[in-house]
Chains A and B, each alone.
Chain A
Amino acid sequence: MEQNKPENTTDRDEILERALAPVRARFIEAIEGHILSLETLRQEARRETPEKNALKEIGQLAHRIAGIAGSVGYKQIGEMASSVERRVIDCCASDRTESDCVASVDEVLEPFLDSLESKLDD
């Protein structure tokens, strides 16, 4: 279970980890906004639209989270965000229907959102 502190911290990293604490705090503060954005985009994606913009935006936000999460100690969140991003890319490149794509992205988005929410409870 991830705690509200970085994983795999060694003694040698302690000074750096202390220095990174404010960045980590800001990452956690931003999580609530990310959850709201992802939920809103998911609702938009579920409405029938000819383009996959909402899904693409989900992918872009997941990409941003994936890029930073691991670096502030939340490797698991980073990996889950990467899975969401990859799934969106695969769906957008395929000729699957919009609803198929939404369902497919949901498979990885739902546990990702749960994991983000659990960080708010820490």
Chain B
Amino acid sequence: MRILAVDDEPLLLEVVKTSLAQLGYQDVTFVNSGPEALAAMDNAAVPFDCFLFDIQMPEMDGITLIGLTREKPAYKRTPILMLTRVSEREAIDAAFAAGATDYINKPLDRIDLKARMGMVARLVEERRRAGAVSAVAQAAEHHEAAPFETPLFMEGIGGLVEYLALENYVLTLGRKQMFSIAALGFTVENAAAIYRRAPGLQFEYMLGDVATVIFEVMKANNLMFAHAGGGDFICLLPRMHEIDPEHIEDDLRLALSDFSGLYAADGMPMPRVRVGQPVRSNVFSLTRADQILIRALAEAQPKDSMPEPAWKRALR
């Protein structure tokens, strides 16, 4: 795995280098500033697989660097881990919103570093395999469909981050911060039917349309949201905002109607989006922080559907 580490403190880079070497990560490039990092990316014969960015740097801060990195086509989805201190809470929020994948706390802890890098290594390996499949598919001039349940990331949609990044973000929140947010689930009720009909690019375009209208309808709320797989989206909002799911559903329906001509031309059903009740963390809750996402996604699922026939249940 090719890693680029950026920190203005040379001694910290020495610590990172030594610690990563102990974990078996030898192919690491070190630079001291954002501009040097961007130059290293442009000059790399083989793209980097992972980035480690300090947040607070004098010439260009880590958040600006994340944004500029994400503008490079080769690095739109490359995992970016921030090197942060707990006291940099606001910067952590901004970094996740800018496209960071995860964070590593300073002081560096060997076990924490091993866990985070292990996660990145698995992600890189999965994407390498998916990339190989996609390359073969492109050679065959057709788009390889991702499995229905795979969380997808669509570029260029405001507030949209990868599901993994959203989970990691929630896990960074302390109890007090958790209390200040609400999670809202969205589900495209007929997603499975659309996928069966057009499992490739058309399904992804449909999700892109839904993500676009979610952003348009919710953008006043300073949201961060992600596709969670299938037809499900999950959104984090400041808790104090008034949330009326029925009103949001109406707005989404209206916004999606702009696309109706395109769907009709393709002979595709229009996506029907359902919005769940907002889920807020209980200040006394002892469950893991990311449970709020799962609960909000469950809230968005239709509850009044007819019970399955016995023969169908027996098949399971």
Please name all residues of chain B whose beta carbon is closer than 8 Å to the beta carbon of A78 when the two chains form the complex.
107
Residues of chain B at the chain A interface (Cβ within 8 Å): 7-9, 11-12, 14-15, 18-19, 21-22, 54, 56, 58, 85, 87, 106-108, 110
A13 to B108, CA, bound (A): 12
Q: Which residue of B lies closest to A20 (CB)?
A: B18
What chain A residues lie within 8 Å of B7 (beta carbons)? 67
| Inter-subunit contact A67/B87 (CB<8 Å) | no
Given contacts A19-B18, A82-B85, 20 further A-B contacts (CB under 8 A): A16-B19, A16-B22, A16-B110, A20-B19, A23-B14, A23-B15, A23-B18, A63-B56, A66-B85, A67-B7, A67-B9, A67-B54, A69-B107, A71-B12, A71-B106, A72-B11, A72-B15, A75-B107, A82-B87, A86-B87
Proximity string of chain A (67-95) to chain B, C-beta cutoff 8 Å, 1 when within and 0 when not? 11111100100100010011000000000
Task: Provide the main secondary structure of the chain B interface.
Answer: mixed
Q: Which residues of A contact B54 (CB under 8 A)?
A: 67
A15-B22, A16-B110, A78-B107 known; A27+B87 contact, CB < 8 A: no
Whole-angstrom CA separation of A13 from B15 in the bound complex: 13
The answer to whether residues A71 and B85 also contact, given A19-B18, A23-B11, A23-B18 and a CB cut-off of 8 A, is: no
Report the Cα distance A66→B108, complex, angstroms. Answer: 12
| Chain A residues with CB below 8 A from B14, complex form | 22-23, 26
Nearest CB of chain B from residue A64's CB, rounded to whole Å: 6
Most B CB contacts (10 A, CB to CB) among A12, A19, A85 go to A19
| Beta-carbon nearest neighbor of A8 in chain B | B109
Find chain B residues with CB under 8 A from A68 CB.
9, 11-12, 15
Which A23-45 residues have C-beta < 8 A from chain B?
Answer: 23, 26-27, 30
Residue of A nearest to B56 (CB): A63
Interface residues of A (CB under 8 A from B): 12-13, 15-16, 19-20, 22-23, 26-27, 30, 60, 63-64, 66-72, 75, 78, 82, 85-86
CA distance A71 to B9 in the complex (A): 12
* 15 A-B pairs in the complex with CB atoms less than 8 angstroms apart: A19-B22, A23-B11, A23-B14, A23-B15, A26-B11, A26-B14, A27-B11, A63-B56, A66-B85, A67-B9, A67-B12, A67-B54, A68-B11, A68-B12, A71-B108
Q: In the complex, what's the smallest C-beta–C-beta distance from B113 to chain A, in angstroms?
A: 10
Q: How far is the CB of A58 from chain B (nearest CB, A)?
A: 15
Give B10 Cβ to nearest chain A Cβ, in Å: 9
A64 partner residues in chain B, CB cutoff 8 A? 8-9
Once the chains are docked, how many angstroms separate the CA of A82 from the CA of B89? 14
Give Cα A15 to B205, complex, Å.
Answer: 51
With contact pairs A63-B56, A68-B15, A71-B12 given, residues A13 and B107 touching in the complex (Cβ less than 8 Å): no
Docked pose: A33 CA to B218 CA in angstroms: 52
Q: Are B107 and A70 in contact (CB under 8 A)?
A: yes
Expressed in whole angstroms, the Cα–Cα distance for A16 and B8 within the complex equals 22
The minimal Cβ–Cβ distance linking B155 to chain A, given in whole angstroms, is 32
- Complex contacts, A70 vs chain B, CB 8 Å: 106-108
Contact B106 A30, beta carbon cutoff 8 Å: no
Closest CB pairs A-B (n = 9): A70-B107, A71-B107, A71-B108, A23-B14, A71-B15, A19-B18, A68-B12, A68-B11, A16-B22
